[in-house]
Structure 1
Amino acid sequence: MVDFLIVGAGFSGCVLAHQIATKLNRKVLIIEKRSHIGGNAYDYYDDHGILIHKYGPHIFHTNSKKVFDFLSKFTEWSYYQHEVLAHVDGRKVPIPINLDTIKELYGLQLSENEMQEFYQSVREPIHNITNSEEVILSKVGLELYNKFYKNYTKKQWDLWPSELDASVCARIPVRTNRDRRYFSDKYQVMPKHGYTKMFLKMIDHPNIGILLQTDYQQIQQIIPHKYVIYTGPIDYFFNYKYGKLPYRSLNFHFETKDQERWQDAAVINYPNDYDYTRVTEFKYLTSQSHQKTTIVYEYPTNNGDPYYPIPKKDNMELYQMYKQEAEKLKNVWFLGRLGTYKYYNMDQVVAQALTLFERELQNL
């Protein structure tokens, strides 16, 4: 008999397991279908001894002191501010677009005020924005949209930006200064010894058990429990009774190079060339010292593990049907990217889990 059955050993599940075990002194069993903890943030040392992220680069950034302080209980940090280049017109230029991007592409030496005027001169005034294409056109105009966003979005989602909800590209910043950082959050760090070590410390408690390579559907009737916290795909929980929710997935191709550095930045985007969207070199992220380096190519696909909920109107309507089913259940909570069919950053998932604990679980 356990008090809480937690389905999924990613951020949501591990954060809540820790809170329940330590603050409520209740018994928790984590069920995980994969062979490891950590969800998509799982990292490990490859055959060459290089620390890599199995499911593509995970860069931690947050403005939330609460989230940062919570995770700091389980890891030391390496300070890391992420920079990305985009391969455009045969050059590697900064993305998000900034003063240096415009200088590289057009030979223009602009001030910050002149950069604002430049955007104003090229942007398309769209008053009622309904999709991602309109978001970008209203920020940077048609030419930059074509160079950086149109084909990258098509590769990533297999949909044109005009077919995607405005929320997808609303996240994309554009700059009027020389700031080359991809993120502008207050806290930009990486777990000093990797995400997996952080998760191991988080769930190292006598009240927490874990079953790996285990399907929740196969054991839910076998193991007595009072409460369920479900972070897997919500449609699977309900046996796809209304149909499958669509996701985009990724295929990863790893290569190890016999040299210390391979490319000019941690991540290089390829919006217009090749079938892959980007190439990541992990040693930039991890600050590891090694005579070799490992890179990964990302190929978006419709088949494979569910990574990205696809924000289209009909998909959201399908999710609402499952959400209504979920709201009828007692003592079952759905959260995380898969449980709520919403794209979250890592810090947002942690915040969601901490909030759920404070509002609903700690008084059970």
Structure 2
Amino acid sequence: MFDYLIVGAGYAGSVLAERITNELGLKVLVVDKRHHIGGNAYDTYNEHGILIHPYGPHIFHTNSREIFEYLSRFTLWRPYEHRVLASVDGQLLPIPINLDTVNKLYNLNLTSEELESWFAARAEKKERILTSEDVVVSKVGRELYEKFFRGYTRKQWDLDPSQLDATVTARVPVRTNRDDRYFTDKYQAMPLYGYTRMFENMLHHPNIKVMLGTDYREIVNLVPWRRMIYTGPIDAFYNFKYGKLPYRSLEFAHETLPQGWFQPVGTVNYPNEQPYTRITEFKHLTGQRHEFTSIVYEYPRAEGDPYYPIPASEPKAIYKKYEEEAKRETKVRFVGRLATYQYYNMDQIVGQALATFEKIKLELADESADPLRALPQ
């Protein structure tokens, strides 16, 4: 008898498996359809011995000391601040847009104070910020929006920014200084030996059993369990009874090149004519030294593995129906990006899992105080 059946061995499932076993001493079965742990954060050495991220770049960053210290139990860190350039008008320019972006693009020599006025003169005032287009044009005007944001967003989502929730482009700030870091979080680092090693350490416990290459439906009625934590797509859990939730997917084209370096920073965005959205070179992220280098092109797709919940009103309305079903479950908790149809960063999923564990502790404490509550209804 397992105390918990956990569906999915990514961040949400692995954190909860570790907490439930190490702090509560309970028995956990973790099941994943893929043949590896770590979810999309899984990394591995390719045939040339270069550490790559098969599902695209994963860069860890957080402002939460609690989350960083928790993960530090399972990994040492390599300090790393991610930098991104955008290929615009034949130049590689810093993104998020900053002082150097504007000065190089227009051959100007503005100061930070002058740039604020420069933006203000071009910004389109909006009474209400409703869409992703509104977010950008209200800050920097339409020309920079067209050069840096519109094409990239249309490729990524197959929707115009005017059709997308404001949260999409709000994730990318605009700066008036020369800070060219993609993130400004207090903690920015990469697991020293890779994400997979970190997950292995997290799941290394005699009370954790991991089954890979297995759909949980194959074993859910064969293996005895008391409670379930589900981190997969919530619509699949309910057999798509209210319809399929839409996602954007990605196709990854990996290449290894017989040269030391391919590009000057970890990621270069291509917001305009190219069919791909970005190219990432992994050695920047990992710090690995190798005579060859590995890169990955990302091509947005409508079909494939679910990566990005679509931030629009119709999908949200569908999700709400599934959410109401989930609230009525007494033995199943839904955690993670796919189970809650939210575009979470890695640290946010860890935070959600840790918060869920605190709720589980309270629930079990209540049951200990009143044993009748734990009996099947």
Give the TM-score normalised by the residue count of structure 1.
0.99
Q: Could you tell me which residue of structure 1 aligns to residue 69 of structure 2?
A: 69
Corresponding position: 1:293 with 2:293 = yes
1:273 Cα deviation after fit: 2.2
Aligned-residue CA RMSD (Å)? 0.7
The more displaced of 215-224 and 250-259 is 215-224
Q: Could you tell me which residue of structure 1 aligns to residue 276 of structure 2?
A: 276
Amino acid at match of 2:81: Q
| 1-structure distance, mates of 2:115, 2:86 | 19
Q: Could you tell me which residue of structure 2 aligns to residue 50 of structure 1?
A: 50
Alignment of 1:257-268 (within 5 A): 257-268=257-268
| 2-structure distance, mates of 1:121, 1:97 | 16
Q: Could you tell me which residue of structure 2 aligns to residue 219 of structure 1?
A: 219
The more displaced of 14-23 and 101-110 is 101-110
Q: Could you tell me which residue of structure 2 aligns to residue 183 of structure 1?
A: 183
Q: Could you tell me which residue of structure 2 aligns to residue 244 of structure 1?
A: 244
| 1-structure distance, mates of 2:273, 2:254 | 19
Secondary structure of the corresponding residue to residue 356 of structure 1: helix
1:359 Cα deviation after fit: 2.4
Contact 1:24 1:362 in 2 (8 A): no
1:362 Cα deviation after fit: 5.2
Give the TM-score normalised by the residue count of structure 2.
0.96
Q: Could you tell me which residue of structure 2 aligns to residue 113 of structure 1?
A: 113
Amino acid at match of 1:352: Q
Q: Could you tell me which residue of structure 1 aligns to residue 98 of structure 2?
A: 98
Alignment of 1:336-355 (within 5 A): 336-355=336-355
CA-to-partner distance for each residue in 1:177-228, whole Å, 9 max, x for gaps?
A: 0001000000000000000000000010001001101111221111111110
Amino acid at match of 2:158: D
Corresponding position: 1:203 with 2:203 = yes
| 2-structure distance, mates of 1:165, 1:133 | 9
Secondary structure of the corresponding residue to residue 4 of structure 1: strand
| 2-structure distance, mates of 1:5, 1:360 | 14
Amino acid at match of 2:273: D
Contact 1:15 1:202 in 2 (8 A): yes
Name segments (4+ residues, structure 1) moved above 2 Å. Answer: 359-363
Alignment of 1:8-87 (within 5 A): 8-87=8-87
Contact 1:75 1:191 in 2 (8 A): yes
1:360 Cα deviation after fit: 3.0
Unaligned 5+ runs, structure 2: 365-377
The more displaced of 70-79 and 130-139 is 130-139
Corresponding position: 1:3 with 2:3 = yes
| 2-structure distance, mates of 1:45, 1:183 | 26
Amino acid at match of 1:156: Q
Q: Could you tell me which residue of structure 2 aligns to residue 156 of structure 1?
A: 156
1:361 Cα deviation after fit: 3.5
Amino acid at match of 2:240: Y
Q: Could you tell me which residue of structure 1 aligns to residue 303 of structure 2?
A: 303
Contact 1:62 1:187 in 2 (8 A): yes
Alignment of 1:120-131 (within 5 A): 120-131=120-131
| 2-structure distance, mates of 1:180, 1:354 | 32
Contact 1:267 1:279 in 2 (8 A): yes
Amino acid at match of 1:88: V
| 1-structure distance, mates of 2:134, 2:361 | 41
Count matched residues.
Answer: 364
Secondary structure of the corresponding residue to residue 165 of structure 1: coil
Secondary structure of the corresponding residue to residue 254 of structure 1: strand
Secondary structure of the corresponding residue to residue 141 of structure 2: helix
| 2-structure distance, mates of 1:219, 1:323 | 25
Amino acid at match of 2:52: I
Amino acid at match of 1:170: A
Alignment of 1:308-319 (within 5 A): 308-319=308-319
Contact 1:9 1:30 in 2 (8 A): yes
The more displaced of 124-133 and 308-317 is 124-133
Contact 1:41 1:195 in 2 (8 A): yes
